Amino acid sequence: MEPVHGGLSSLKGAYPEMQRMCEKVRPKDNYRYFYPILYRMQVVAGTNYFIKVHVDEDKYVHICVSQALPCNGGECSISGIQSNKTLEDPIDYFPLGTK
């Protein structure tokens, strides 16, 4: 099921382009790795990607990457992050700007 405008999509596996996007917005924190594994997306005036990222042995963070519309440059920026996540934690919407 694809997202309804403003709602979250179903859970999807990350793909190679998602890794490139995450590397562009990777925070300066000392994460051992930064591998996206699952994501959900939200279509608004652009797209928000809520991504589960593997950062250490059994540690994960959830990040929100906002991508502007192509007519606005299509740039990506990290707009929120939740720490101390596990593989089992569901990826849900969280307020942008969350650190």
Question: Pairing state of beta strands 59-67 and 35-44?
Answer: unpaired
The two tokens of residue 95 are 């307020």
Q: What pTM was computed for the model? A: 0.90
Residue 3 has pLDDT above 80, yes or no: no
pLDDT band at 2 (very low <50, low <70, confident <90, very high): low
- Cα dihedral 20, 96, 90, 33 in deg (nearest 10): 40
Residue 1 has pLDDT above 50, yes or no: no
Residue 13 has pLDDT above 70, yes or no: yes
- Over residues 64-93, the pLDDT tens digits come to 999 999 999 999 999 999 999 999 999 999
Q: Stretch 20-34: mean pLDDT, rounded?
A: 92
CB 44 within 8 A of CB 6: yes
Q: Which residues, listed in sequence order, are joined to residue 59 by a DSSP beta bridge?
A: 56
For residues 37 and 12, what is the distance between their CA atoms, to the nearest angstrom? 9
Neighbours of 93 (CB within 10 A): 14
CA angle 16, 20, 22 (to 5 degrees): 110
